[in-house]
Structure 1
Amino acid sequence: MYPALREIQSKYLRWPGTERDISKSRDVKRAEHLLEHGVKLCDEKGISWTPRLK
């Protein structure tokens, strides 16, 4: 719907730090889905999710 959209920033987002939390996080799943479409999901500091090896 928004072809020029490249980044979404949320002040309520905080990235998980442990593998267990990463596997449970809905935010991580959303971020990875958005990355497939060329859109970065960023936290309040402007840090986007970096996918890890699976």
Structure 2
Amino acid sequence: MCCMQERALVELKRDVRRLRAMPDKIDVALDWVVRGVALVQEHLQGQHQEMSTEDNEDDN
């Protein structure tokens, strides 16, 4: 599941770059994409921290 989320994040970042290259396009759409990227990054970081915590608990 994590790999799928990372792939989605890469695709979202690509879409952001493409939209930024078209300055006359709808700014609201760009804002939503940027927010989506931020949410995915937060989610991935949270999962990584949870996995690190679980690994540390397993080591103990």
TM-score (norm 2): 0.34
Q: Which has the larger radius of gyration?
A: 2
Q: Name whichever structure is richer in helix by fraction.
A: 2
- Structure (1/2) with the larger strand percentage: 1
TM-score (norm 1): 0.37
